[in-house]
Amino acid sequence: MSDTYLELVNSGVTASLAKKLGLPRPARLRRTDPSSVDRPLTPGPVLVLSDARATTEADTLAQGLLDWDLDVRRDSRLSDHERWGAVVVVLTGLEHPRDLAAPALELGSVLRGLAPGGRVVTLSRTSPAVVADPSGTDGSGDGAAPAVAAARHGVDGFLRSVAKELRAGATANGLVLADGVAVDAPSVRGGLRFLLSARSAFVDGQLLQVGTDGGTEPADWARPLAGTVAVVTGAARGIGAAVARVLARDGAHVIGVDVPAAGDSLSAVMNEVAGVALQLDITAEDAAERILAVARSRYGHLDVVVHNAGILRDKLLANMTPDRFEDLLAVNITAPLRMNETFARPGVLGGGAGAPRIISLASTSGIAGNRGQTNYGAAKAGIIGMTRALAGPVGRAGGTVNAVAPGFIETDMTARIPPLPRQIARWGSSLQQGGRPVDVAEAIAFLASPQAGGINGQTLRVCGQMLVGQ
C-alpha cells in the first residue's frame, strides 16, 4: 500500500510544483527498519528545558539520558551547522498557568533549529483529582487546586498546538506523570525513549499517562521482549503481520492467529518470524483455551496478547442490516471480551520473562465517530471501555491492559476506500499522510515491553494527530 502523492511531492519537479501551488507537502517520516535497532536514537543533540520549579528534576532526567549515548544539553545555544534532534520540556513544577510562559517561549525560541524528524516531548503532572469534597474538609477543596489543575491541564492544549505547528516530520508528544512518579521511573524513561525514537514516527499530539513507577528497564534495549511469548490475532496481513514482525524483532516468540481462509499468508508471515501459525476463528467459544494450549505446549507460558483481528461492515445506520451490525460486533468486541475472561484471570498470563500484557486495537472511529461506521465505532469505543475496566484487576496481578487507536493506516482495509476520501483522510492529520502498519506495531511493542509496566488502562493514538477526536 503506497501513497503516490507522498512520493511525488518528495521528488524533483513535482516537489517544486506542489510548493508553487501551495499543496500539502507531507514529509517522509523517520522510521525504524523493522529488522534493525534504532540507532541513533535522535537526529541530533537533545535539549532539556524546564519550568522554574522543575530544574532539579530536569537535571536528573538529563543525567539519565546520558546512559543512551545522547548528546544532552541544558544550554539552548547551538552552533551554525547543528540542529536539535529533540527538545524535552520538564513541566512538573507548574502551579499556575503563568508558570508555563517562560519554558513555552524558550521552546519557541529553539523550534526553528529542530531537525527534520525531530521531537518535542513534555513531561508534566496529572491534573489533581476532581474535588471529592467541595467543602474542602478533606484538603482537596482548597483554593489552590483550580490554578494547579488549570496549569497542569493547560499543558494538554499547549502540547497539541505545538504538534500542529511542527513541520518536516517532527512530532510533539507528552508524558503525564501521576503525583509521586519520579522523572526517572522506568515507564517515564521507557516512554521518553519511545517518543524520542523513530519507533513513534506516526504518534503525534498525544499525551500518555504514566500512573505508577512500575515496570523495569530491559537488560538490552534492542531486545526488550527476549524470553516472552506473544499471541497476535489477525496476523496474516496488515497491522497484525507488522505486529508479529516487530515483536519478533524485539525478541518475542510469536504465535500468529488467523482464519483458515488466510492460512497461506499466515504461514508465510510466521515462517518469516520463526513463529507458530494457528488457524482459528477468534469468534469460536474456546478460542482463548486453544491459544493457551498451543502456547503452553510449545513454550510453557503466554505473556502478551494482542487483540488485532478486526473487520469492517460499513453502512449508514439507516441502511444497516442486522447481520452487518452483529457480525462486526462478534469479531471486533465480543471475541476479545470473551477471550479476556480467560486471559485476564490471575496466573493465566506471565510466567516467562515478561509480565502479563493485553493490548487491543481500538480506532479513532471509536473516539470521534465516523459516518457509516456506527457498528465499528461502537465496537472500538467498547475496546476502550473494556481496557479501562480490566486495568484494575490485571494491574493488581502485576500486568497491564492498554489499547492502541490507529487513525488512517495504509492497509488492505483502507485500500478499499475510494481515492478521493482516501486522500482527504491522509491530509486530515498533522503529518498530512497515512501511517504504516509498522507504526502501529511499534506502539504495541512498546506497550508490551517491561519498560511500559507503569502505563495501564490507556489508549494511545497512532494517528499522526488526526483532526478528529479529542
Known catalytic residues are: 376
Find the binder of ligand NAD among 94, 185, 192, 361 (CB under 6 A).
361
Please state the closest distance from residue 172 (CB atom) to ligand NAD, in A.
Answer: 22
Cα 250 from Cα 409, distance rounded (Å): 22
Find the binder of ligand NAD among 414, 429, 432, 456 (CB under 6 A).
414
Region from 79-87, 177-185, 341-349, 412-420 binding ligand NAD, contact rule CB under 6 A: 412-420
Please state the closest distance from residue 440 (CB atom) to ligand NAD, in A.
Answer: 7
The answer to whether residues 207 and 264 touch, using CB atoms and an 8 Å cutoff, is no
Cα 464 from Cα 427, distance rounded (Å): 10
Please state the closest distance from residue 242 (CB atom) to ligand NAD, in A.
Answer: 8
Cα 319 from Cα 286, distance rounded (Å): 33
Residue entry with cell 503516490: 4
Please state the closest distance from residue 241 (CB atom) to ligand NAD, in A.
Answer: 8
- CA-to-CA dists, residue 144 to 50, 92, 139, 147, 262, angstroms: 22, 16, 10, 6, 59
Please state the closest distance from residue 159 (CB atom) to ligand NAD, in A.
Answer: 23
β-strand pairing of 253-258 with 171-177: unpaired
Here's the x/- map for ligand NAD, 226-265, by CB under 6 A: it reads as -------xx-xxxxx----------------xxx--x---
Give the number of other Cβ atoms within 10 Å of residue 300's Cβ. 10
Please tell me whether residue 273 binds ligand NAD under the rule CB under 6 A. Answer: no
Residue nearer to ligand NAD on the CB measure, 32 or 414? 414
Find the binder of ligand NAD among 210, 309, 329, 349 (CB under 6 A).
309
Find the binder of ligand NAD among 413, 417, 427, 469 (CB under 6 A).
413
Cell of 59: 537535571
Please tell me whether residue 58 binds ligand NAD under the rule CB under 6 A. Answer: no
The answer to whether residues 148 and 128 touch, using CB atoms and an 8 Å cutoff, is yes
Residue nearer to ligand NAD on the CB measure, 260 or 347? 260
Amino acid at 245: R
The answer to whether residues 311 and 328 touch, using CB atoms and an 8 Å cutoff, is yes
Find the binder of ligand NAD among 76, 283, 334, 423 (CB under 6 A).
283
Please state the closest distance from residue 38 (CB atom) to ligand NAD, in A.
Answer: 23
Residue nearer to ligand NAD on the CB measure, 162 or 329? 329
Residue nearer to ligand NAD on the CB measure, 65 or 409? 409
Stretch (H or E) spanning 109: helix 101-110
Cell of 196: 524520542
| Burial zone of 309 (CB within 10 Å; 0-12 exposed, 13-18 middle, 19+ buried) | buried
Find the binder of ligand NAD among 196, 254, 331, 443 (CB under 6 A).
331
- How many residues form the binding site for ligand NAD (CB under 6 A)? 28
Q: What are the φ/ψ torsions at residue 177 (nearest 5 degrees)?
A: -95, 135
Question: Which 8-state DSSP code applies to residue 256?
Answer: E
Binding site for ligand NAD (CB under 6 A): 233-234, 236-240, 257-259, 262, 281-283, 308-311, 331, 361, 363, 406, 408-409, 411-414
